[in-house]
Every structure is written in C-alpha cells, then in structure tokens.
Amino acid sequence: MRLLDSHCHPASVIRSGKWNAWSQEAKNVGVEGIVAIGTDLDDWALYRQCAEENPGFVKHTIGLHPCHVTEGWEDTVAAMSPFFADHPAPAALGEIGLDYYRLPSDEEEAEQVKQWQQAAFRRQLSLAYQLGCPVVIHSRHAFGDCVQYIDESGVDWRKVVFHCFVEGPDAVREINQRSGRASFTGIITYQKSADICAALKAQGLARLMLETDAPYLAPNTKRGQENTPAYLPEIAQKAAEILGLPTDEIAEVATRNARHFFGF
C-alpha cells in the first residue's frame, strides 16, 4: 500500500530523539512521505531542517495556527517571508485559519482573541496570494468566516485544503464548487462521524486526501494513544469502506492527490 500523510506534527518526536524509529515505523506500513505542518515560529526551522535531512520523504509548511495567535502575531507573521526564499522552501502556508471553539471563557477576552485570529488569518492569506502557494486551513466552529476570508483574499481555491474536515456534505460541496478540497483524519473511524463520512463521500475520489494530524486524533482502534503516520492505513481502510473501493486504490489515489497538491 502506498500512503502519504498529508498533515502531521512531528515536533515532539524530533525533539525527543525518536525521529528514526518513528519514521521507520511509518515506512514499514507503506507511508512513503509526510507533510510536517508548522504551527508557530518555534517549529518552522525544526521542520525545515527535517525536510532538508529527509529529502523525498518530508515536505514542510510554515504557518501561525489560530490557537497560537496572541497579541504579538504581527511579528510572527512578519518572520515568514524569508522562509519562502530559503531552501528547502515550504510546500504550503499553513496551518492557518480560525478556531472559535477554543476561546477564553471571558467574553471580552474571547472577542479580542477572535479579532487577532481574523487579522492574522487575513494577513497570512494575503501573503499566500502574493506567493501563489498552497494553503492549509484549520477551521473549527468558523466555517463560514473561513470561506468568506478566503474568497476576499483572492487566493486560488484550487490551492486550498480544509484539513481535518469535520463539517457535513453541504459544507464540502461549498468548498468543492469553488475548486477547493477537504482532507480527512482518523475522525472518520469514530462512532458518530456519519456526517463527516457523508462529506468524504460527497467530495469523492478526485480530490481525496488523507492525514493523521498526529500526534492528535489517533484512529478508533488506537484511541487514547499518541497518533503516528503508521496508523494511516486504518484511515485509508475506512475511506475505502465509505467509497466502496479497494483500500489499495484509495491509498494510491489519495497519495497521488497529496503529491500533486503539495508538489511532492
């Protein structure tokens, strides 16, 4: 089976010296590449170095995750451009977006954080527009605003992926109509994910992309454990079940799509 983990966060694995065992474990089950997704200034250089040391196996991205946005977001975003001039250059800008789920409980504080998130998201979208690079979107309880800001940014929707998709079929159609796509995590293997599975089905094969979002969101049989790209086969199996196709074919197509999207 050929697999590509289009979204994971190996920072803690690298920092704790477990990279070799971790990546070998993934390779052993057929994972032929991973995209290491940046979230804040402190993992960008780490992932760039990882990509440099693992050519052909690792691509990396840089982005300021909405849950990492603070008052000083402008300085962080200003530090991005040099990374795109460097080698290896990031394969995409992300993950960026809006997360209205994890906000401070104090209403005034929550409103302030929301405003910072929106400003940081817009600034990063405008950078992505200038660079013409792919964009990885994180959206939680903020789907409508995310779509609106992307529309306003002029970013080419063919280069937009809503990662860890947790909306239903109507929302995925809204993205697909604009030529964007959704990618799916182990959440599709959980009970009570019927709506998300229906979204995967509605999107279909042509834009299918799979990811673990490791170390978060381990698939059903591994729940409670730290997630790893080595658990990607279980997600591919579930996607195959939903689409009524052989797992090998699903893995093949999802891998080809992810390679195309990230220029792997």
Q: Specify the residue for token string 């490791």.
A: 214
75: phi then psi, degrees, rounded to nearest 5: -65, -40
Q: Rounded to the nearest whole angstrom, what is the least distance from the CB of residue 163 to Zn ion in the complex?
A: 6
Q: Which residues does 46 contact at the CB level (< 8 Å), separation at least 6? A: 11, 14, 15
Q: Rounded to the nearest whole angstrom, what is the least distance from the CB of residue 248 to Zn ion in the complex?
A: 27
Nearer to Zn ion (CB atom), residue 213 or residue 234 = 213
Nearer to Zn ion (CB atom), residue 48 or residue 138 = 138
Residues that bind Zn ion (CB under 5 A): 95, 138, 213
Q: Rounded to the nearest whole angstrom, what is the least distance from the CB of residue 151 to Zn ion in the complex?
A: 20
Nearer to Zn ion (CB atom), residue 60 or residue 138 = 138
Residue nearest to Zn ion (CB): 138
Nearer to Zn ion (CB atom), residue 138 or residue 207 = 138
The residue count of the chain comes to: 264
- Which run of H or of E encompasses 31? strand 31-36
Amino acid at 260: H
Cα gap 27→29, rounded to integer Å: 5
Q: Rounded to the nearest whole angstrom, what is the least distance from the CB of residue 145 to Zn ion in the complex?
A: 15
Closest CA to 208 of 161, 248, 166, 170: 161
Cα gap 152→28, rounded to integer Å: 43
The CB density around residue 180, as the number of other CB atoms within 10 Å, is: 22
Q: Rounded to the nearest whole angstrom, what is the least distance from the CB of residue 48 to Zn ion in the complex?
A: 17
